[in-house]
Amino acid sequence: MRPETTALIALDVGTSAVKAAMFDVNGVILAQTTETYPLDTPKPGWVQQHPDRWWAAACEALKQLTLHPSTRGVAGIGIAGQSWSAVFIDKDGRVLTDCPIWMDTRADDECAEIDGIIGKDRLFELCGNPTQPSYTLPKIMWLRNHHPDIFNRCSHVLQSNSFIAYRLTGALSQDESQGYGLQCFDMRKGYWDEDALRALGLSPSLLPPISPCDSIIGSVTLEASRATGLPSGVPVVAGGLDAACGTLGAGVVRPGQTQEQGGQAGGMSICLDKYASDPRLILSRHVVPGLWLLQGGSVGGGGALRWLRGTVCPELSFEDMSELATAVTPGSDGLVFLPYLAGERSPIWNPRAKGVFYGLDYGKTRAHMIRACMEGVAFSLRHNLEVASAAGASVGELSAMGGSANSRVWTQIKADVTGHEIAVPGTDEATTLGAAILAGVGVGLFPSEAEAAERIVAVKRRHYPDSTSAYDAAYAQYRELYDRLSGLMI
């Protein structure tokens, strides 16, 4: 294979779309495409998608990529995926029901059931995360409790990335970085605790064997080749959590480095070389071997601004909205936004939390609402960073990723609100780049994830904290508003 034709393909199974990208060995994008799909919200607290829609979107996106001449030189495929999926398949690989995604909170009662059987302290000691209704394990219990007829036909439970890997290769897998969504995952040792599964009445055979994120789990089958246009026989690696792949793609590969996430969801990921957990945060394994990520995951990221655009100013582009936000002073003249549009994850963990605009009056404009929305997301980031610091994590420079990083005003707001310098990498496709790096390591093109990222990832601009003190009062009000209103959020 000629080096100049060697390419790596990455898929990102996101909340609203599958992204597909082809990179050369220097991390340069050769081609990329996106195929969207809807969210289904049939009841309050239910947010679901059918995994076959993911596969259909992935097939269409890959067909577009195969038009590029470098397809003949594809060395490997990596897959990033949204967290906390529960894809139920039967023995023939057919999807049995819709998948409740990471925003779904229907499994509240199952959390109490799990905690009662095993014990909160035992679970937290095992996996480093408390039981939450958005996690995968309570969703498995929910299906068993509410639809035993479907559950009894279930052969395996997959994650979003492992489902696409299964469709491509026919191989069942579970990568290390997605294990944290199941409280039967031993975070320190990296394997399933079968005693915990049996205590819950679940067969260990439901969960596929755990693989390193850069390990080859199979190759593209003839059937998948016909569906996608990919050459058959191309190796596929296990891949990993989208936030962790994005953290790798943003260049966060050393302890203390921190990723700031600005996709549909918001949050941060702090790279650790030692196990450290806090019940208010999220602990996962990094896609980089031997490292962990202490994460803060908030519902209100770029999706909050997308919601505001769709409801208040649909005729404006995101660039127009950023420009309007620059005309409003820090603190939005007293308008404060709680970005809890689908409940909230860390650090408050309240599936019933509600979004709130506080401080509206006749003097407020759309520009105020736009800036307040950006500031509210930044406040949620600051809250998570403060909790991480209190837990002993060291936070320095932030590396931004996601579409929000394209907004200079929003990125500057985050720098000012948090008091941290923010570096913006040269590509805003950090998640697919991270998945491509995993594929490159798996097939031997790169010696390690860290060496590949440090060679490939470049910084295109930096934002330095400026008017940090201007946000202190607004942030204090943001915190107080939730404390005062939480009792009404039922």
What was the pLDDT predicted at 1?
Answer: 37
Helix 242-249 and helix 449-456, axial crossing angle in degrees, nearest 10: 50
Helix 51-65 and helix 160-169, axial crossing angle in degrees, nearest 10: 60
In CATH, the architecture of 3-238 is 2-Layer Sandwich (3.30)
Dist CA 138 CA 132 (whole Å): 7
What was the pLDDT predicted at 394?
Answer: 86
What Cα–Cα distance (Å) separates residue 445 from each residue in 24, 27, 81, 232, 440?
11, 12, 23, 19, 5
Which among 375, 378, 341, 367 has a CA at the least distance from the CA of 356?
A: 341
Tell me the CATH number for domain 243-425+458-490.
Answer: 3.30.420.40
The identity of residue 133, as a single letter, is: P
DSSP category for residue 275: -
Q: Long-range contacts made by residues 441-447, C-beta under 8 angstroms, separation at least 24?
A: 441/214, 441/237, 442/76, 442/78, 442/214, 442/215, 442/216, 442/235, 442/237, 443/75, 443/76, 443/216, 443/235, 443/237, 445/6, 445/8, 445/25, 445/75, 445/76, 446/25
Question: Based on the number of CB atoms within 10 Å of its own CB, is 465 exposed (0-12), middle (13-18) or buried (19 or more)?
Answer: middle
What Cα–Cα distance (Å) separates residue 340 from each residue in 73, 344, 354, 419?
45, 5, 5, 23
Q: Which residues touch 145 (CB under 8 Å, ≥6 apart)?
A: 109, 110, 113
Number of H helices, E strands in the chain: 16, 24
What was the pLDDT predicted at 2?
Answer: 41
Q: Which residues touch 157 (CB under 8 Å, ≥6 apart)?
A: 86, 87, 88, 89, 136, 140, 206, 207
What was the pLDDT predicted at 5?
Answer: 61
CB-based contact 169:218 (threshold 8 Å) = yes
What string of pLDDT tens digits covers the 490 residues of the chain?
A: 344 468 999 999 999 999 999 999 999 999 999 999 999 999 999 999 999 999 999 999 999 999 988 777 999 999 999 999 999 999 999 999 999 999 999 999 999 999 999 999 999 999 999 999 999 999 999 999 999 999 999 999 999 999 999 999 999 999 999 999 999 999 999 999 999 999 999 999 999 999 999 999 999 999 999 999 999 999 999 999 999 999 999 999 999 899 998 888 899 999 999 998 999 999 999 999 999 999 998 988 899 999 999 999 999 999 999 999 999 999 999 999 999 998 999 999 998 999 999 999 999 999 999 999 999 999 999 999 999 999 889 888 999 988 899 999 999 999 999 999 999 998 878 999 999 999 999 999 999 999 999 999 999 999 999 977 889 999 999 999 999 999 999 8
Domain with CATH 3.30.420.40 in the chain: 3-238, 243-425+458-490
What was the pLDDT predicted at 136?
Answer: 98
Question: With b meaning 16 or more CB within 10 Å and e meaning fewer, what string describes 118-134?
Answer: beeeebbebbbbbbbbb
Q: Which residues touch 486 (CB under 8 Å, ≥6 apart)?
A: 348, 350, 353
SS3 465: coil
What was the pLDDT predicted at 328?
Answer: 97
